Structure 1
Amino acid sequence: MPWWFWILLWIALIALSLLFHGWLGVRLFRRFMATVRELGDAGKRFSTISPRNETSDVEPAEVRPEPGSAIFASPDQMRHDYLTAKAFRQEVRRKKRVQRKAERGQPQSLHDIEFR
């Protein structure tokens, strides 16, 4: 093979490589711009969400501890507060789950049914 063939071959390979990388770059840029556009739309959509209804199933805690008061509280008191709040959150989730399944007509799970 003549020497000029190798030069043409390498030029063609480099040109194809640059063309391929350019195509990948344009494709990546378009996907990035689509993601940014979707993120902007989501920001607009979620910025207009109204606050929770006053008639919510979850009643807000009436007595809130002062910020920083946990530092001076006893560990037993903090453990009790944590476990009480955890049980309350679990009960709220259970009630929502039961209500959602009842609305959809789905069978209830045995551990969700109250036997008390």
Structure 2
Amino acid sequence: MPWWSWIIIWIALIALSLLFMLFLGWRIWRGVSATARTFSDVSAEREAYWEQSLERARVEHVTEPRTVVPGSAIFATPEEMKDDYLAAKEERRFARLQRRVARRKERGQLQSLRDIEALQDVG
């Protein structure tokens, strides 16, 4: 084999390796762009869901006027304070129960028997 054939072989090998690297780079670019596009779509869906959730929370969260003057707990008896605390605790528990049932109903999930029985006991 003449000496110039080695130069042609090496040029061909380098050209093929560059083409292979370009091909791999193109595949990686397509994969990254598809991943970015999917991420963008999912983040848009999550943002829309988050906005709906915040709007629902704003609608459901009703601020009631205060019936108790701040600082009046100083003059209340411990029994009254405990009764107020337990009543508020029960209201918070029931509100959580209602939110949990509504959330599961919205998602199409099964309700737990405990939640169904608790709602039947109240209503």
User: TM-score, structure 2 length as denominator?
Assistant: 0.46
Name which one, 1 or 2, has greater alpha-carbon Rg. Answer: 2
Higher helix share: 2
User: TM-score, structure 1 length as denominator?
Assistant: 0.48
